[in-house]
Each structure stands twice: as structure tokens, then as C-alpha cells.
Chains A and B, each alone.
Chain A
Amino acid sequence: MTRKNYYLTTDGLLKRKENTVYFLNKDSKRPIPINKIYSIYAYGALSISSQVLNLLSREGIPVHFFNRYGFYTGSFYLRETLLSGDIIIKQAEHVLDNERRMELAKSFVRGAALNMKRVLGYYGLENGISDTLSDLESSGSITEVMNVEARIRSDYYSAIDGILPEGFRIERRTRRPPENMTNAMISFGNSLLYSTVITELYNTQLNPTISYLHEPFARRYSLALDLSEIFKPTIIDRMIISLIKKRAIKVEDFEHGMNQCLLNDSGKRKFLAEYDRRLGKTVKHRELGRKVSYRRLIRLEAYKLIKHLIGQKRYEPFVMWW
């Protein structure tokens, strides 16, 4: 990965000078080589000029914005350069035809569930995921599929609680705002992953708004939601468990308020550093026979989906094989 993600957690200004990008904050002025940027995640208050956006769009670099709480607010999604009317039509066909849509929706849930099972299996935790998963085949509507997914996820979170120390237990999934520390990390991590998936989808011909498991909502890149389901357990959940168990993240890394809990500056930095490290981690890919990074795995998932849509190869969701 010669191009890196940059995470701007401090308040500052993004500027264009001599055809490259400068990040200025109150302590420093840092030039960032334009050819070294893959995407930018902005967590602080960022001032940005149209000149820099022009440069970024020329180089195909998206910027993702998050609010003060670390929730995703939007992206500078570039002018599409990989356009394919054919793929869009095929994508739509697979939504309009209920049978085909169900097939894909079920694949996403199955992929997510099997990855959750791998995570639990790694820690030797008992789980009923396979039993619940058998209900998936008989479900006939998207709502039923979503219900199966929700049941699996709640079992999964309560199983994880079994290995988390007092104080870090999830108890109940809460969001907007998250009510405890682990919930805060899950929310933060999921938004982060969602934007990473958007970056990968940008680099394919797929239209990110046409989705299968999630309703193709307006104003949302719902295909990115579909794909992030599969990767949440492998990337985010394993990372959270390991941060807690290694005591890398502590109570001081959170901002506790009335009925809400959020990562503070030091917490965000630790989380982002670990996330970035994990995205760059490589595993040997069985079919390709070479090493691929986690980030690349997401792109490959999009390619698999394209192959399915054009009828070349049936889509099989990614399931952690290591």
C-alpha cells in the first residue's frame, strides 16, 4: 500500500500549494504528498478550499467527514470515472426481481453471521448462530431476513460479553448516542468501516446507492451498508475485543456524559491507529495465491458482486478462513 489513509483528528486547514496538499493546524504545517494519499478521514473541524478539492478529485481521493461525536456526516464523493450503464441496469434488475434480491440479501446475512461465528469460535465461546442461521433459508421477505440478522447479532453481542471485563460489557446495543464504552467503540468503528467501504466502491463500477439487504434509501450509500455487514466482525469487532483485552484502551480514553459515552481525543487516536494498522494487515488469499490486505479484501468483495450481477460467477460472501 504505497498510498495511505490520512486521519485528521485536530482542527485545521487543508490547503493546496505547489500541487500538493498541506495540512495546517495550530502547532504545525505538514505537507502531505498528493501521490501518497488514498483517502482522508476528517474528524476535527476542517476548513477546506475548492482548490484542494479540485486537486483531490483530479487524483481520485475521497474525503470522509465525521461530526464531533465520530458519526459519519458525509463524503466528498468524486465525480464518477468508472461508469457502466450495464452494471447499473444489472444491479437494478437484481433489486426488482424479488427472488434475486433475496438471494443476495441472504448471502450478506450469511456472510456476516459466519464471520461472527469465527470471531466467537476464536475465543472458544458457545453460540447458537448456526441454529438461527437455519431460519434464514425459509425466510421469504427482506423483513424476515433482517429479523434473523438482528437475532444473530444480539446473541453475538451477549456471547462477547462473556469475555469482556466488568465495565466494558455491551449489555445492550445502544446508538445515537451510545451509552457505554464498548457501544461507543462499535459505533465509531462501524462509521469508519462504512466510509472505507465507500472508498472501495468508488473504485468500482458499482452504484453505491443500489443495495439488497438494506432498502435502497435515498441519500445513503446503502450498498456500502450491505458490504460492511460482512466485514464488521472481522475488522471492527475483533479489533475492539483485542483493544479491550490488551488494555490498550482504558476508561480515560472516553468522555462520559449524561446517558452517553464517546471516545475522546486520545481514544480516537488509538482507535484510528489500530484501525489503520489492521487495514494494512495482509493474509494469503487462497484463490489468488498471493497476499492481500484487509482493505483489498473489501474491494475484492465488490468485484465478486459484479461477477454475480453479470452472471459470471455466483456470489459467495467472504468468510474469514484463518
Chain B
Amino acid sequence: MYLLIVYDVGVERVNRVKSYLRTELHWVQNSVFEGEVTGSQFKRIEMNLKRIIDEDRDSVVIYSFRSESAFKRNVLGVEKSPLDVIL
């Protein structure tokens, strides 16, 4: 499964959300992460995010796709963080 996560959370929690997601997914740009996950990883991410955010005020949107090939990725302007594995 391929995930795209965007979030809009209170400034006190934004750093915690960001640093948590950095351990799980690739950073794309401010408040956006993406990456391939398994079913159990997906559940874990959901659970951990729920624990961090304030569910009355914050909002996290998770788009999930069956696979990476289920959508097209187009970048206009600067690719802030390329996803290649050869560094």
C-alpha cells in the first residue's frame, strides 16, 4: 500500500508529528509525507498519529493507494526531496 499523508496541526504539536513521520515515511515538503507501507505499518502509523495529535483541533489526511503505480506523480518547480536510494 502507498500512503500520502498531509497534516495541519497546532504549532505545539507540529514538530512531534513531523519527527515521528520522518521515521516512517519520506518527507516531500512541508506537512507532506509519502511512502510504501505494509498493512500493519499503516495501522501503526495511524495509531501513533492519533496519540500525538489533539483530535478536537488538528487534522491529518491520509490518502492510501493500492500501490505506487496506482497514481502519477508530477512535480512542478523544485523537487524538494528526491526519493532515490543512491546517494
Query: Which residues on A are within 8 Å of B, measured CB to CB?
Result: 1-2, 4-10, 12, 18-20, 23, 25, 30-31, 33-36, 269, 272-273, 276
Contact = CB atoms under 8 A, between A and B. Distances in A.
A31 B87 contact: no
B74 interface: no
A276 B84 CA distance: 11
Contacts of B19: 18-20
Nearest to B2: A2
B87 A9 contact: yes
- Find the residue from B24, B36, B85 having the highest chain A CB count within 10 A: B85
B86 A272 contact: yes
Given A2-B38, A2-B41, A19-B19, A36 B26 contact: yes
Nearest to A34: B23
Contact of B87 (A18, A19, A20, A30): A30
A36 B86 contact: no
Contacts of B26: 33, 36
B86 A7 contact: yes
Interface in B14-52: 19, 22-27, 35-38, 41
Interface residues of B, number: 16
Interface of B: 19, 22-27, 35-38, 41, 81, 85-87
A205 B16 CA distance: 38
A33 B85 contact: no
Contacts of B25: 33, 36
Given A2-B36, A30-B81, A33-B35, A9 B23 contact: no
A21 to B, nearest CB: 9
A20 B86 contact: no
B86 to A, nearest CB: 5
B81 A2 contact: no
A31 B24 contact: no
A33 B23 contact: yes
In the A-B complex, the 5 residue pairs with the smallest Cβ-Cβ separation, listed nearest first, are A18-B19, A20-B23, A2-B36, A7-B86, A20-B22
Contacts of A7: 85-87
A4 B35 CA distance: 11
A273 B86 contact: yes
Contact of B86 (A2, A25, A31, A269): A269
A273 B25 CA distance: 21
Nearest to B86: A7
Given A33-B35, A35-B41, A36-B35, A4 B23 contact: no
B35 A9 contact: no
Contact of B85 (A6, A12, A20): A6
A276 B83 CA distance: 14
